[in-house]
């Protein structure tokens, strides 16, 4: 089996296309040369026929004049001149006999017999009537030669035009065949080379999306296959590293949770004063320990949630979802918090159905709504606005809280980063909610944006944009 590299394949394709076009050019040149030769030969024969016919007509006039002068003067010099004209005329007849038979037929032979009879009659001093009859016959033959030659020339012109049309059609077929062949070769080479390049692009996209379950298989040229094997090695390596990371994270969280549980139990015993009453300072220290233990446990759980979101982001499940129903489900899940803060959530969504990953979109909108509830003032309004633009779905979450400081706008989506502005009520979050939002939006091929707040309506304005199908 012949194994070609990408460069060799491209060179082979270019050479094959060049051969096809060269073949068409050479064939066209040969056809054109043949047509030119035929045209030149026909033109030369037509000129020779016209010139010979005209010269015979002139010789006939000279023979008649010379014969009449000889018959009157009986001068042998005039007879010699007539014989010279006869010899010259016979030379012209020989030239006519070299032309194609269809051009002159038997007329040159008839002219020769007639002129020989004329010469014989003249040398025998035959009656003038017999000489004039021979001269008349020569004139008739000249006329037939002229008419026959003209017909043949017209036929040659028609044949030349027909040959020209046939050559044009033949050249058209040759060029069309060569161009079609070159186009087919280009398509075949493009198909053969684009398939492995497309496989490489898809493999790189899967690696970027942390999808390591599908092996990388690349066909085509041998060097692109080698690239495919290296990408598959990279896939296995990244899969092993991801597994190690997740395993390490699970082990670390487990190892941290065990002593944290013991600490919480010990602090609970101290707070319940099982070991004896506590003084004011001692109670303050126990409260500080309780707060830090709870914060540490929250950070560990947030880290596990972020890791779980990263894992789930690799798996997409697209199904038709009603947009209004989806937003209503998010609001219903936060109903207790909304009532506790006496907030109003205004949903503005068209009654449409779109095909997308509803589970991940629920998590995204829920995280945005949770942040909006935490930072909204009591009795405030939160707006959830959705609209479909082409093949994308946009959902905005707008609150009336303090908003995001300009210096926090660039890093608010980073894990464990919380803005500098405080919420109206104490929050238990650890700053991974927006990180989860960005992770899931990236997995779905969308994006999350922090839009600038309106000067008349301060607050945080988040907008997500996700691709969808009708």
pLDDT digit string (tens) for 176-198? 887 787 788 778 777 777 788 88
Q: Is the pLDDT of residue 327 over 80?
A: yes
pLDDT given at position 172: 80
How many residues in the chain? 470
Number of domains in the chain: 3
Residue 253 has pLDDT above 60, yes or no: yes
Q: Is residue 418 part of a domain?
A: yes
Of 157-161, 426-430, 431-435, highest mean pLDDT:
157-161
Point out the least confidently predicted range of 266-275, 325-334, 339-348: 266-275
CA distances, 408 to each of 199, 238, 417, 463 (Å): 40, 32, 9, 17
Distance CA 174, CA 172 (A): 5
Predicted pLDDT at 281: 78
Give the pLDDT confidence score for residue 298 in this predicted structure: 64
Of 312, 342, 358, the last residue of a domain is 312
pLDDT band at 96 (very low <50, low <70, confident <90, very high): confident
Report the percentage of the chain scoring pLDDT > 90: 1
Please indicate, yes or no, whether residues 345 and 289 belong to a single structural domain of this protein.
no
CATH number, domain at 396?
A: 3.30.565.10
In a domain, 356, yes or no: yes
86 Cβ neighbours under 8 A, 6+ residues apart = 63, 115, 116, 118, 119
Range of 152's domain? Answer: 6-185
In a domain, 221, yes or no: no
Q: Quick: pLDDT tens for 133-172.
A: 777 777 787 787 778 777 877 887 888 778 778 877 877 8
Contact predicate 453/459, CB 8 Å = yes
pLDDT at 436 over 60: yes
Instruction: Give 460 or 288, the one with higher predicted confidence.
Output: 460
Same domain, yes or no: 127 and 150: yes
Phi, psi for 393 (deg, rounded to 5): -120, 130
Q: β-strands 353-356, 381-389: how paired?
A: unpaired
In DSSP terms, which residues pair with 355 in a beta bridge?
320, 469
pLDDT number for residue 74: 75
Shared domain for 302 and 340, answered yes or no, is no
Choose between 438 and 76: higher pLDDT.
438
Task: Average the pLDDT over 344-367 and give the result.
Answer: 87
What the block records as the tokens of 21 is 């076009």
* Under 8 Å between Cβ of 400 and 377: yes
Last residue of a domain, one of 257, 286, 312: 312
* In a shared domain, residues 306 and 362: no
Tokens representing residue 118 in the block: 């004329």
Q: For the ranges 223-232, 282-291, 381-390, which has the lowest average pLDDT?
A: 282-291
Q: In the prediction, which pLDDT does 1 show?
A: 45
126 pLDDT higher than 70: no
Range picked from 109-113, 309-313, 325-329, 426-430 for highest mean pLDDT: 325-329
pLDDT band at 210 (very low <50, low <70, confident <90, very high): low
Q: Which of 312, 340, 363 is the last residue of a domain?
A: 312
On whether both 324 and 306 belong to a single domain, the answer is no
Whose CA is closest to 404, among 360, 440, 448? Answer: 448
Please provide the average confidence, as pLDDT, over all residues in the chain: 78
- Asked if residue 205 belongs to a domain, the reply is no
């Amino acid at each position: 089996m012949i194994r070609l590299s990408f460069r060799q394949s491209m060179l082979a394709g270019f050479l094959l296309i060049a051969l096809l076009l060269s073949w068409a050019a050479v064939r066209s040149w040969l056809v054109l040369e043949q047509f030119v030769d035929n045209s030149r030969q026909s033109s030369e024969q037509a000129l020779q026929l016209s010139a010979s016919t005209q010269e015979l007509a002139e010789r006939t006039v000279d023979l008649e004049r010379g014969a009449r002068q000889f018959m009157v003067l009986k001068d042998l010099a005039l007879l010699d001149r007539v014989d010279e004209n006869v010899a010259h005329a016979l030379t012209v007849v020989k030239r006519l006999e070299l032309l194609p038979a269809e051009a002159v037929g038997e007329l040159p032979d008839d002219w020769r017999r007639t002129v020989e009879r004329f010469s014989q009659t003249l040398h025998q001093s035959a009656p003038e009537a017999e000489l004039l009859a021979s001269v008349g016959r020569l004139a008739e033959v000249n006329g037939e030669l002229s008419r026959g030659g003209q017909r043949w020339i017209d036929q040659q012109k028609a044949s030349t035009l027909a040959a020209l049309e046939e050559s044009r059609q033949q050249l058209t077929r040759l060029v069309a065949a060569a161009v079609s062949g070159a186009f087919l070769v280009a398509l075949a080479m493009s198909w053969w080379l684009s398939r492995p390049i497309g496989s490489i692009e898809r493999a790189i996209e899967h690696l970027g999306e942390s999808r390591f379950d599908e092996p990388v298989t690349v066909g085509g040229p041998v060097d692109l296959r080698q690239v495919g094997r290296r990408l598959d090695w990279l896939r296995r390596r990244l899969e092993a590293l991801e597994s190690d990371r997740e395993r390490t994270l699970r082990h670390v969280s487990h190892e941290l949770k065990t002593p944290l549980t013991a600490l919480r139990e010990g602090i609970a015993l101290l707070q319940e004063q099982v070991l004896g009453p506590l003084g004011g300072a001692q109670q303050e220290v126990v409260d500080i320990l309780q707060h830090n233990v709870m914060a540490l446990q929250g950070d560990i759980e947030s880290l596990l949630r972020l890791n779980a979101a990263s894992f789930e982001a690799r798996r997409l499940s697209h199904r038709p979802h009603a947009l209004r129903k989806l937003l209503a489900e998010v609001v219903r899940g936060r109903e207790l918090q909304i009532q506790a803060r006496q907030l109003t959530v205004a949903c503005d969504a068209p009654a449409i159905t779109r095909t997308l990953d509803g589970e991940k979109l629920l998590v995204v909108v829920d995280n945005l709504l949770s942040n909006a509830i935490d930072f909204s003032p009591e009795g405030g309004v939160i707006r959830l606005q959705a609209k479909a633009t082409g093949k994308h779905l946009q959902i905005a979450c707008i609150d009336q809280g303090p908003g995001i400081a300009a210096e926090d706008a660039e890093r608010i989506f980073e894990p464990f980063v919380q803005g500098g502005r405080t919420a109206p009520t104490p929050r238990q979050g650890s700053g991974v909610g927006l990180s989860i939002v960005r992770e899931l939006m990236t997995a779905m091929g969308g994006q999350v944006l922090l839009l600038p707040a309106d000067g008349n309506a301060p607050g945080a304005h988040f907008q997500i944009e996700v691709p969808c199908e009708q």
